[in-house]
Chain A
């Protein structure tokens, strides 16, 4: 089955700096890669996603890149703000899109004012 590895497990940055979180996946048939942000005690919130037919996607301060050959994808947050502090999860679907998402173990991002 699919295996998703996520690094780092914790990340601390100064406000205004950039943050990068990296994930690798094992199933070459995976074609959908969402990122979720989860604040303490709240639901995972979809912040951006990418499909395998594109290599990069941006939404304001957030961008995701995908390297299908290397089977890795990354989340980039620029100009970080204290409200970006949360746990971020990457995920990959099982090949064939049966709605099964396999998640990484999460990255705790702390943005220091």
Chain B
């Protein structure tokens, strides 16, 4: 098991609401990436944070936003929830070292939008 943790484990929201998901990276890791995994699909890259700044973004609208804190933990915020936002949200942390891209995933937060 990795040292990446996420909270909460499960979450149920209604359409139009806002949600905040949290991630604590593994010790020694200074980057955090967020992924959305729909049922039966591979994870899709949302964005990555390094040194508290967004450093790369996938094809997700601006209502998906995030933060990284000085202790390298991170939050994913989603506004104006839509039914299609129902998915497993995974964060992954890794060390920003030359030539190292390795990322380790947390257990995920299962978000259901009704």
Contacts and interface: CB of A to CB of B under 8 A. Distances in A.
B102 A46 contact: yes
A106 B58 contact: no
B41 A105 contact: yes
Nearest to B55: A98
Interface string B91-110: 00010000101111111100
Contact of B43 (A44, A45, A97, A99): A44
A61 interface: no
A32 to B, nearest CB: 4
A94 B56 CA distance: 10
Contacts of B56: 94, 98-100
In which size bucket is the chain B interface? 20 to 34
Interface string A77-106: 000000000000101011001111111111
A93 B101 contact: yes
| Range for the number of chain A residues in contact with chain B | 20 to 34
Contacts of B45: 100-102
A43 B107 contact: yes
Contacts of B68: none
B88 to A, nearest CB: 9
Nearest to A31: B101
Nearest to B58: A100
A96 to B, nearest CB: 10
A99 B42 contact: no
B24 interface: no
B74 interface: no
A106 B55 contact: no
A103 B90 CA distance: 13
B105 A99 contact: no
Interface of A: 6, 32, 34, 36, 42-46, 49, 51, 89, 91, 93-94, 97-106
Closest 3 CB pairs of A and B: A103-B42, A32-B101, A98-B56
